[in-house]
Each structure stands twice: as C-alpha cells, then as structure tokens.
Amino acid sequence: MEKVRLDKWLWAARFYKPRSLAVAEVRRGRVLVNGATAKPAREIRTGDRLTIKKTNPPMQIVVQALSDVRSPAPVAQQLYEETPESKAERARAAELRRLAPEPEHSRHGRPTKRQRRQLSRFRRGR
C-alpha cells in the first residue's frame, strides 16, 4: 500500500471513532498535512507530518505505516509516531493544568443554607 485517504487513515489510527467525524474534522481545517489544510480524500504516504488539533496543544505526528482497516489500539499506535517537540509541549501543558486547576472543578454539590443566604443578600444588594 503506497497511499491511503486521509480520513480512512485517521479512522484506522483511532484518532476519531466514526469515519464521518474524521471527515468533518478534516473539512473544518483541524487536520493539517505537511503544514497545509487538506481535504478528506487527500492521499497520504509514509513520512507525511500531520498536525491534529483535537487536543490543546495540537498533536504533531509522523506517519510510519499505512492502513485503511481499523485495528486494535496497540496495532493502530504503530501507524504513527508523535514528534518529540509535540510530546514535550503536551507534557508542559499537562503540568500547567495540574498546577493551576480549573476553579469550577473544586465546587461540590449544592450550596449550603448559609451560602444560599449570603447569595440572596448579595443579589438584593444588602
């Protein structure tokens, strides 16, 4: 196999569960091939560099093998290799998220009676 459609490869490499989602993401410009936007039917080859903007920061990979058949995850992971720069950037972003968690995540459950009274006083302007 020398070349495979981009949407089929993304589906086979398990980046997107349904192939229709892979098509939609490519059409939205969230998948770049060698730094340029592509269409779902674009044929990719081994050695192509893909930028997948599924996560923040985007994942940059190099195509190692081609397949148009969806395989188990361990086999699918052999189809690509993430660049060292991308790994470092994603690790740095994960560390920043760990050090500064989202404030909303610390809230648990409903407000207590005391907190509800404070909210009502605040809303009334007292």
- The number of folded domains in the chain is 1
Q: Is residue 109 part of a domain?
A: no
Spell out, as residue ranges, where the chain has pLDDT lower than 50: none
The pLDDT, as a whole number, for residue 37 is 94
* Helical (H) or strand (E) element with 8: helix 6-12
Q: Is residue 13 part of a domain?
A: yes
Q: In what order do the strands lie in the sheet with 36-37?
A: 36-37, 31-33, 49-52, 59-63, 80-82
Percentage of residues of the chain with pLDDT beyond 70: 99
Q: Is residue 106 part of a domain?
A: no
Residue 37 structural domain: 1-86
Whether pTM exceeds 0.75:
yes
Distances (CA, A) of 24 to 7, 77, 122: 9, 22, 46
pLDDT digits (tens, 9 = 90+) for 16-46: 999 999 999 999 999 999 999 999 999 999 9
The pLDDT, as a whole number, for residue 1 is 77
Q: Is residue 91 part of a domain?
A: no
Backbone angles phi, psi at 41, to 5 degrees: -85, 0
